[in-house]
Structure 1
């Protein structure tokens, strides 16, 4: 809805309120103002000029040399190329120094040897959209009425010294689709009165009921129909002020009668239609449903086939209008029209919507019928249009109206209490303040103790229940006056849970390592489902699968990730790293919902680093993938809790696979895909891991504690231990860590040797041990004492000896 600020000021006092301030207040009250368009922004120097002479340009056939009086006693020469320019016209002239839209500046110029001191303007050059300019001026300059004063501001005459507010209306606010509706809203916001137009005109002795009869066969679709008859009209352009207001609202001017019906549509929100009485075809108006296959040619010269779902206005035999949508060409108001049959009616919005949708016709009228109009404005709008036609088209209005009404229209009565309003809003608004708000809205209101009984006018059809009254109070009291409170409780809306926050960190970390997130199907086939499963479970089958390939729920994310790697490798993408966070489904027995558990899986193949300028290539290996998992474990604060144990799993390489534990609980595995499986899938060397994410993220982590950086030096001792080949380095590291005491801060493996210099069945594992005390400098004696405990422990518990 486009609202002219100057037009709105005729219905409600806007003194002291700028368009921008008004837009802010309307938006704060619940109707969004999407923009404020200042029509003359940046323009200046455009005046009314009088063309006193016109002759052809001596050296250009399509140009005219015009002598134009600018009203200051000076006549200037302007070269104009418009076809419709002529002597005696009053036109818009951009003088030398003027600025037009787009910062286009007018300068003194020479055109084919002739001086031009300005430019005679079309409406498009003054900023009007071409589709809104009347057809007679669409391809030339605009000609003002002969009574305008020469030399005055042309922008003011065209109502361009105005601002237009664009309202973004929600479907429930049909009342604001009219100037009077917006005036009621603004008056309530500003606590001012609404001024309705005064309607008065003289009617002739002839009665409308003698000129036309109305019959309604579909009262459920048309509960109210009013017809008026106006004689001796003169079809001509409408007044300039009316044309400019229609264009500001986005409607193209046509002629005085049609423009008046559109003007009243915008003013009252009531669609009207004017028929040519002499072309109507009879003295009877019959409103009925169309017959199947019946045809009508509408005003856009399109023949349309109707159905029994469409409502039509007929002359008793043939349709003359598609009710509420568009009139018929056979009764159109034309330049020779003398008598007007004016329709003002209430049509069922759903019925109009069907017609509009079926024929692809969306008009200003249909939009208002669909959302709902005020039934108590139907008669007033007809009277207002009759007044304007009498005034601006010279029409003689016949006495009375012909009316058919089959329903009554009473205002809604809705009740609420002060306690309910304040409880819902969390506020403490007084009963008198609430009563005042409804009075500003011009609702009838009775306050009885703490009960508010509100009589809602029919223009506000959106207010039907108690909660609607609460909303009216809230928006006019001011949403920004609602007190701010912090939410309380276990779960705060909008806040991530601890689990969600950790999962988000995991995603960010994995993407930071260079992996891409994949999302694969939860459904798979019976062959793939059990592969790489972390937990053994029966398969959960779909009752009605679409295909065998998607017939059971997965137990692992890895099979589909490997398929994704295969897909990429087949397309020459030889470096691929994917991860997925998703659910697997563990059966809980027949007819039971499967248990969902969240898993984290990744699959990586190809080169991990490839720096051709440094001649460096590093293919992915076990330690690359383990490094990713170690970083993840460290991020979650689980470094001390997680252990890797060598393992053998189906589908995995027997010597390059480890299971991951937290305490005694298996939470995942890591390793290389078995070479046979790689070959079957046409994969290069591929490494994977799958982790039980819910187990990792559910571990309670001690609060991070920071220690002062040591001031004293540390001492490092290296030991090479000879042990049986079946003893893993991790077990030896545990023994060393437990025996080293508080001074032993770090243990790491730096060498492994197996060869002919060692006894068969033995290996040498070298460890680096770092000791320090944050309180003092360690002596050799201190370190030797702790070190001997370590040597004694590894000898006793794993049978290790120092390598000589």
Structure 2
């Protein structure tokens, strides 16, 4: 809801309070003000000008040379390209030195050889949205009525010296979808009176009942319908002040009749509709449910097919309006209209909502009907419309209204004790203070023996229970004045468990090195249920599977992850790196729930790195994925406890697979997907691993300790050992580490040779060993002593020979 600060002053005295201060007070009382827009912000130097002369620019077909009186001693020449500029008009002029929105400064200029001392402006150039500008001025400059004073402030005349508050209303506060509703709210906040409009209608001797008869067949959908007839009107522009108020509220002006109905919608929150009486086609209004298949052409010239769920206004035969949503084109007010029928009605919100949703017609009227209008304003709004039509359309109002009324208006009566109000709010307000709050809200009330009984007005349909009254007291009393208390009792601050912390570390690390998280089904097919399982158990079948492909609980994540790889590769997403953490399900004893165990699985394929500009590419391989795992174990402090041993896993390449051990216990595997499996799934060379996270996260890790940066130099020795071809490097490395003692700090393989010069059945593995002592510089004798122990150990335990 957009609320004009200047317009609001018609109903509440706002002296002494700025728009920003008012916005803060409204927000503190429970209705959020989302913003305050200053309509003339940054603009200056705009006045009303009178076009004295207009002639064609001598050097440009689409420019006009205008002589304009701007209220100064001499008129000024202004070059204008608007097609509708003409002699005798009163227009908006930005003088030399003026500033327009966007800090656009007007300077003296020369256009095609002719001087221009200013600019004649359109409304769009003043910051008004094009959709809010009346059609006659949408393609050119704006023209004031002839009674505008030359030299007057152009922005003030357009009500741009205003500020607009945007209210973010919750669904229960539909009462503030009107200026009067906001006025009641503001008056209660400020402790001031509400000044209500008092329609005074002068009628002619003819009776409205002689011109129209109203009948309602759908009383539940439309319990109250009021019709008034106004004759001899003259359709034309509405007053400028009305047009500008409508634009500030986000509504486009049309003509005086339509603008008056929209104005009252904003003022009272009561939607109205004006029918051209002569185009109505009869002297009857019949409100009924539509017939299935019945059609209507609405004001937007769209033909709409109706159902029996929709409520329509008819002339006794055909539909002339979709009730509460939009009028029909066959009864539209046009420039030659002379008599109008004003409709003011109370429609059921659910019925209007159904029609609005079915036809995609969301209007200001339907919004208000859906949320609920005040039934006590239906008649008042009709009288106000008649008054304004007489004033601004020269209409003659016929005596009386034609009404169909089956509405029972009941004001809600709610009682609450003072003790409960104070107990819930934690306050010590007195009964006098509570009475004053309800008086400011203009609620009827009666206090008796510590209990206050409140009669909520019909405009406040949200007041139904005791808690609503407590809320009203709290917000008017001031939420910022409510006492603050701390919770009583012991509490435990929230935190992640060590297991959750490690899971987060793993996920952050894997995403940091370039893997994307995948989430796959926990259900799989019977054929895939046991594939790549770390622990062989009987798979669990669902009692009522959704399909054969989703009939078993998984024992491994990897089969589903490979399906994801297949799906992406089929769509030309060739470079993939995915991981998933999730549960696998292990069968237990009969009739017991399965054990859920968290696993981590990953799969990579394609290029790991590519730099086209440098011409660099690195395809994924076993050691890329092993490096990812080693980095993860390092993050968890488990590097020294993890071993990789050559192994065999069904579905993985027999020569490129390793089993992963943690402190001597097998926790997973890593390797290349078997070429046959890759072919079946249409995969490229793909590398995978799967781990049991339970063992990883529950492993004991020594506390993190600081190690000083070595101050003394290290000594490196390289050895090449000739061993049997089936001897694994990790076995040799383990022997070297155990034999090297405290001086040996690092061991790694840097070469493997199996060439022609090697004896049949043998291979050469080269290791680099680094020795140092953090306390002193090592001597050659100390290093040689430790190194000899290593050589003897590999010779005795592995049969290794030092290669010459």
TM-score, length basis structure 1: 0.83
CA contact (8 A) 1:280 1:320 kept: yes
CA contact (8 A) 1:582 1:600 kept: yes
Of residues 454-463 and 689-698 in structure 1, the stretch that sits farther from structure 2 once superposed is 454-463
Residues 734-762 of structure 1: CA deviation (Å, up to 9, x unaligned): 78878988x56746366899999999999
* Separation in 2, partners of 1:339, 1:607: 78
TM-aligned CA distance change 1:468 to 1:642, over 3 Å: farther
Residues 5-29 of structure 1: CA deviation (Å, up to 9, x unaligned): 2112222233344334444444454
Residues 191-212 of structure 1: CA deviation (Å, up to 9, x unaligned): 4443322333444455444554
Of residues 567-576 and 298-307 in structure 1, the stretch that sits farther from structure 2 once superposed is 567-576
Aligned partner of 1:362 in structure 2 is: 362
Structure 1: 5+ residue stretches without partners: none
TM-aligned CA distance change 1:752 to 1:131, over 3 Å: closer
Aligned partner of 2:290 in structure 1 is: 290
Once the two structures are superposed, the pairs formed by residues 226-625 of structure 1 within 5 Å of their partners are 226-414=226-414, 428=427, 430=429, 438-444=438-444, 453-469=453-469, 471-472=471-472, 477-478=478-479, 483=484, 496-542=496-542, 548-562=548-562, 576-588=576-588, 594-605=594-605, 622-625=622-625
- Secondary structure of 2:143's match? coil
- CA positional deviation for 1:177: 1.4
Residues 647-699 of structure 1: CA deviation (Å, up to 9, x unaligned): 43323455554433344643212234456555666766654321012332244
CA contact (8 A) 1:733 1:747 kept: no
Of residues 455-464 and 78-87 in structure 1, the stretch that sits farther from structure 2 once superposed is 78-87
CA contact (8 A) 1:447 1:453 kept: yes
- Secondary structure of 1:529's match? coil
CA contact (8 A) 1:229 1:339 kept: yes
- CA positional deviation for 1:38: 2.4
* Separation in 1, partners of 2:728, 2:417: 78
- CA positional deviation for 1:267: 0.6
CA contact (8 A) 1:29 1:479 kept: no
CA contact (8 A) 2:414 2:454 kept: yes
- CA positional deviation for 1:69: 2.8
TM-aligned CA distance change 1:113 to 1:581, over 3 Å: same
* Separation in 1, partners of 2:162, 2:82: 27
CA contact (8 A) 2:712 2:772 kept: no
Aligned partner of 1:98 in structure 2 is: 98
- Secondary structure of 2:390's match? helix
- Secondary structure of 2:661's match? strand
Aligned partner of 1:128 in structure 2 is: 128
CA contact (8 A) 1:750 1:768 kept: no
- CA positional deviation for 1:725: 9.4
CA contact (8 A) 1:50 1:91 kept: yes
Aligned partner of 1:41 in structure 2 is: 41
Residues 216-268 of structure 1: CA deviation (Å, up to 9, x unaligned): 21110011122233344343322111111112222222232322111111011
Once the two structures are superposed, the pairs formed by residues 131-142 of structure 1 within 5 Å of their partners are 131-142=131-142
Aligned partner of 1:198 in structure 2 is: 198
- Secondary structure of 2:502's match? helix
- Secondary structure of 2:459's match? coil
* Separation in 2, partners of 1:421, 1:761: 92
* Separation in 2, partners of 1:486, 1:507: 36
- CA positional deviation for 1:152: 0.8
TM-aligned CA distance change 1:181 to 1:773, over 3 Å: same
Once the two structures are superposed, the pairs formed by residues 171-182 of structure 1 within 5 Å of their partners are 171-182=171-182
Aligned partner of 1:155 in structure 2 is: 155
- CA positional deviation for 1:377: 1.6
* Separation in 1, partners of 2:61, 2:714: 101
Of residues 416-425 and 498-507 in structure 1, the stretch that sits farther from structure 2 once superposed is 416-425
CA contact (8 A) 1:34 1:168 kept: yes
* Separation in 1, partners of 2:118, 2:207: 55
* Separation in 1, partners of 2:295, 2:791: 105
- CA positional deviation for 1:174: 1.8
Aligned partner of 1:692 in structure 2 is: 692
Structure 2: 5+ residue stretches without partners: none
CA contact (8 A) 2:720 2:764 kept: no
- Secondary structure of 1:97's match? strand
Of residues 632-641 and 189-198 in structure 1, the stretch that sits farther from structure 2 once superposed is 189-198
* Separation in 2, partners of 1:736, 1:641: 16
TM-aligned CA distance change 1:526 to 1:133, over 3 Å: same
- Secondary structure of 2:144's match? coil
CA contact (8 A) 2:37 2:165 kept: yes
* Separation in 1, partners of 2:101, 2:233: 38
TM-aligned CA distance change 1:762 to 1:475, over 3 Å: same
